[in-house]
């Protein structure tokens, strides 16, 4: 990681960070197939980026490659994980245990990338006290305790739209500093709290537009 001498990280374009996740996914795929090294041009081709883009992206963080050889997969995986902060496991709390929440609980992909759901909260009598994937659903009022107990920083919000604002309020009050929001509403959070939004209907809209546009050239 590069420091600029002022004691703070050089700021990294958001676009670079999202590509970092894609590189990581692809590199892990290559590593499983026992590939030792990869060039920027091949990695770029696999993901649909230019070779220059790949090299520039990594250059934000230092010198990762070997001229004439390329990048060593395993080494690069470690470096990207360290940059993203996922070289250590992140404990997370799931807020909302309906349809979407239960599906997320069953999704094994989180664990593989270094995230561990350690608690589930809700307000619905129908799920409170029940166990899903080995976790007993607790009341959302217990959130501050849970956050302290596990030193949590991140919550996944998966409640219906009409419950989202209230749930978000409780999350913010519990000391959480990052929210992954699946509810289709715009949350307003202080600048000190990070927010990533995933709206499934919006993604479909984007796709519809793209299909639509493709059809009319």
What is the binding site for DNA (CB under 7 A)? 13-16, 39-41, 49-53, 55-56, 58-59, 63-71
The piece of 61-69, 124-132, 166-174, 179-187 that touches its own copies (CB under 8 A) is 179-187
The least distance separating DNA from the CB of residue 46, rounded to whole angstroms, comes to 13
Q: Is 112 in the site for its own copies (CB under 8 A)?
A: yes
Q: State how far the Cα of 170 lies from the Cα of 42, in Å rounded to an integer.
A: 46
The least distance separating DNA from the CB of residue 38, rounded to whole angstroms, comes to 7
Neighbours of 125 (CB within 10 A): 8
Q: Is 106 in the site for its own copies (CB under 8 A)?
A: yes
Q: Which two tokens stand for residue 65?
A: 């490659």
The least distance separating its own copies from the CB of residue 100, rounded to whole angstroms, comes to 5
Strands 90-95, 154-157: pairing kind: parallel
Pick what 58 binds: its own copies, DNA, none; C-beta below 5 to 8 Å, kind-dependent. Answer: DNA
Strands 131-132, 71-72: pairing kind: unpaired
Pick what 64 binds: DNA, its own copies, none; C-beta below 5 to 8 Å, kind-dependent. Answer: DNA
Distance spanning both ends of the chain, measured CA to CA: 43
The least distance separating DNA from the CB of residue 42, rounded to whole angstroms, comes to 8
Sheet containing 194-197: give its strands across.
131-132, 135-139, 115-122, 90-95, 154-157, 178-181, 194-197
Report helix, strand or coil for 64: coil
Among 86, 124, 135, 150, binds its own copies (CB under 8 A): 86
Quick check: 156 and 104 in contact, CB under 8 A? Answer: yes
Q: Which two tokens stand for residue 115?
A: 């995230």
Q: Is 83 in the site for its own copies (CB under 8 A)?
A: yes
Residue 84 or residue 128: which is nearer to its own copies going by CB? 84
Q: State how far the Cα of 95 lies from the Cα of 165, in Å rounded to an integer.
A: 12
Pick what 131 binds: its own copies, DNA, none; C-beta below 5 to 8 Å, kind-dependent. Answer: none
Q: Is 100 in the site for its own copies (CB under 8 A)?
A: yes
Give the max Cα distance, the chain.
Answer: 62
Residues that bind its own copies (CB under 8 A): 8-9, 12, 17-18, 20-22, 24-26, 29, 46-47, 83-86, 90, 92, 99-100, 102-104, 106-107, 109-110, 112-115, 153-154, 156, 161, 177-180, 184-186, 192-196, 198-217
């Amino acid at each position: 990681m590069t420091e600029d001498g002022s004691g703070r990280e050089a700021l990294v374009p958001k676009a670079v960070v999202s590509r970092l996740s894609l590189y990581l996914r692809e590199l892990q795929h290559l590593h499983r197939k026992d590939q030792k090294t990869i060039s920027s041009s091949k990695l770029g081709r696999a993901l649909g980026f230019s070779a220059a883009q790949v090299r520039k992206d990594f250059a934000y963080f230092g010198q990762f490659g070997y001229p004439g050889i390329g990048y060593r997969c395993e080494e690069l995986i470690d470096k990207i994980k360290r940059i993203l902060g996922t070289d250590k496991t992140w404990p997370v709390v799931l807020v909302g245990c309906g349809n979407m929440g239960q599906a997320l609980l069953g999704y094994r992909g989180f664990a593989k990338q270094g995230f561990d759901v350690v608690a589930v909260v809700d307000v619905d009598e129908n799920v409170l006290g029940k166990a899903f994937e080995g976790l007993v659903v607790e009341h959302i009022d217990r959130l501050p305790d849970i956050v302290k107990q596990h030193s949590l920083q991140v919550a996944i919000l998966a409640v219906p739209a009409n419950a989202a604002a209230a749930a978000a309020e409780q999350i913010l009050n519990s000391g959480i500093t990052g929210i992954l929001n699946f509810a289709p509403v715009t949350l307003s959070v202080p600048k000190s709290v990070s927010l990533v939004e995933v709206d499934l209907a919006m993604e479909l809209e984007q796709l519809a537009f793209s299909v639509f546009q493709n059809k009319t050239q």
